[in-house]
């Protein structure tokens, strides 16, 4: 007996309904709970931690207007694709309170006239306008790319070497959300490296944080300028004199903020005494380890260290390894002083497990170099730390407290030894000192170009694979299926 047709129809209808319900639920759950991964070589589709933090600072509507024509044949047109991808990521990370508008000056003349009238501009092309709470800031799109201009000499077009749009955009966003620039001073007069030459990469990164960089010599003044948000002592070769130490110490007690990059090869007892008053004591040692070479045992003085998540300045860098080239000394802490003076000391950077602090570091030691328990300094070996006087537990709460950040090395900050993780750490330290702990994360990354170099033989093999190999494989699979069906 055949089953009734009505029952079959109802059964099929319920199955279709169940499939639709499952499909809807799967999409609904996937929309709410998902994970995005960027597997690109340069991580060009991921926003840096600092960019995401800056976007959270905008509590009111932000408008981004991109004025550019993709039909113009200009070097800037090479970065339009990267710029649009960057805006898509910005929109994804800040879904509310943000509007991105694309305006083509060759097609929308009325809109161009409105923008020129509103922002008092004479011309609008290849420009980004940021508008927030009645303030606006302009970005030249050409600044977002690093170009090789050499081909122009042969009548060619400039070649895009790197897209640095996220750096430029984050700097402009920071400037418009915090319009008051902070001032960071570099101390000079003690043989320090030149900020404009030896530390130019760090100086540029600080400028991108909407901070003004100046230099100061205490030989001509008895006070730290009132506009100083932070003071940087970068690898002084000679020591402070008594008057300079007193000026800096007085400013520090009144809420000053200092970043100190030590030069272990220089004798600076007054500077060390200034740090000891905040509970951080530079040790007279050199951080090193032994390595086994093919015919001998060598000494490795370039220190591999990892960042500790003990403060807002380093929390976003947790687990990141940083190379400290050259001489590095370790730091000790005066916990009794810290407890008595209400100083909060936090280790920030720790040397890898294989390193120790060698106290007999002078060359040509009679017994050679080896770790001696009770004489040398073992793990944990701290080479970067911060100290806050009268500070609260939460770094995000702005309180006028004294703060110093000390690194037992300085060569990692020089242009020759500066790495991306090292720059991330230094910029985070500066942001922490100028009370921008919420944006003290990773600096925006450059998305560099990557070209695959293939020889003529490899190109021939690749062409043979694409033209012959893949179609032949598809034909063979089709023939196999046909033979199985015939059998």
Please say whether the beta carbons of 411 and 325 come within 8 A. Answer: yes
In the chain, ranges of CATH 3.40.30 domains: 49-173
In the chain, ranges of CATH 3.40.50.880 domains: 180-439
Measure the CA–CA gap between 154 and 145, rounded to whole angstroms.
21
Residue 426: burial class (beta carbons within 10 Å; 0-12, 13-18, 19+): buried
Instruction: Collect the ranges in the chain with pLDDT lower than 50.
Output: 396-398
Buried/exposed code over 350-360 (b: 16+ C-beta within 10 A; e: otherwise): bbeeebbbbee
Q: Kindly state the helix (H) or strand (E) to which residue 174 belongs, with its residue range.
A: helix 165-177
- Taking the complete model, does pTM exceed 0.85, yes or no? no
Question: How high is the pLDDT of residue 398?
Answer: 47
What architecture is the 180-439 domain classified under in CATH? 3-Layer(aba) Sandwich (3.40)
Question: How high is the pLDDT of residue 486?
Answer: 83
Question: How high is the pLDDT of residue 397?
Answer: 46
Measure the CA–CA gap between 218 and 240, rounded to whole angstroms.
9
Domain range 49-173, CATH class: alpha beta
φ/ψ bin of 100: left (φ > 0), alpha (ψ from -120 to 50), beta (otherwise): beta
Scan for tokens 């995401």, then name that residue. 52
Question: How high is the pLDDT of residue 45?
Answer: 65
Please say whether the beta carbons of 381 and 409 come within 8 A. Answer: no
Please say whether the beta carbons of 239 and 190 come within 8 A. Answer: yes
Question: How high is the pLDDT of residue 80?
Answer: 86
């Amino acid at each position: 007996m055949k089953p009734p047709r009505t029952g079959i129809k109802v059964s099929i209808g319920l199955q279709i309904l169940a499939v639709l319900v499952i499909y809807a639920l799967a999409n609904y759950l996937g929309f709410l709970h998902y994970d995005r991964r960027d597997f690109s070589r340069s991580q060009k589709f991921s926003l840096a931690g600092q960019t995401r933090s800056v976007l959270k600072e905008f509590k009111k509507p932000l408008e981004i207007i991109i004025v550019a024509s993709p039909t113009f044949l200009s070097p800037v047109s090479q970065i339009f694709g990267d710029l649009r991808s960057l805006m898509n990521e910005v929109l994804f990370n800040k879904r509310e309170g943000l509007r991105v508008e694309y305006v083509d000056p060759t097609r929308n003349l009325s809109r161009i006239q409105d923008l020129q009238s509103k922002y008092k501009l004479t011309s609008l092309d290849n420009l980004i306008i940021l508008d927030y709470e009645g303030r606006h800031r302009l970005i030249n799109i050409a600044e977002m790319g690093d170009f090789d201009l050499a081909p122009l000499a042969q009548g060619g077009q400039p070649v895009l070497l790197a897209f640095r749009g996220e750096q430029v955009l984050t700097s402009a966003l920071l400037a418009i959300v915090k319009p008051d620039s902070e001032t960071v001073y570099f101390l000079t007069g003690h043989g320090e490296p030149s900020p404009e030459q030896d530390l130019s990469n760090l100086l540029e990164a600080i400028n991108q944080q909407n901070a003004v960089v100046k230099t100061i010599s205490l030989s001509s003044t008895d006070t730290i300028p009132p506009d100083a948000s932070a003071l940087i002592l970068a690898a002084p070769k000679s020591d402070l004199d008594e008057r300079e130490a007193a000026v800096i110490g007085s400013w520090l007690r009144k809420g000053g903020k200092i970043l100190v990059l030590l030069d272990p090869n220089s004798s600076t007892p007054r500077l060390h005494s200034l740090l000891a008053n905040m509970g951080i004591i530079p040790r007279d040692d050199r951080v090193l380890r032994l390595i086994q070479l093919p015919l001998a045992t060598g000494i490795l003085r370039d220190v591999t260290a990892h960042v500790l998540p003990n403060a807002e300045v380093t929390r976003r860098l947790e687990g990141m390894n940083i190379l400290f080239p050259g001489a590095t000394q370790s730091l000790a802490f005066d916990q009794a002083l810290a407890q008595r003076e209400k100083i909060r000391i936090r280790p920030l950077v720790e040397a890898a497990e294989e390193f120790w602090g060698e106290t007999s570091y002078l060359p040509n030691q009679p017994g050679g170099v080896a770790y001696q328990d009770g004489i040398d300094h073992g793990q944990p070996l701290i080479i970067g730390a911060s100290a806050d006087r009268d500070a609260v537990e939460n770094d995000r709460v702005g309180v006028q407290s004294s703060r110093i950040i000390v690194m037992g090395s300085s060569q990692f900050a020089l242009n020759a030894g500066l790495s991306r993780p090292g720059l991330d750490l230094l910029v985070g330290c500066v942001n922490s000192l100028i009370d921008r702990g919420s944006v003290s994360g990773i600096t925006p990354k450059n998305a560099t170009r990557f070209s695959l170099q293939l020889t003529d033989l490899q190109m021939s093999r690749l062409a043979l694979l694409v033209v012959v190999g893949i179609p032949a494989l598809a034909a063979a699979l089709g023939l196999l299926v046909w033979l199985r069906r015939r059998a």
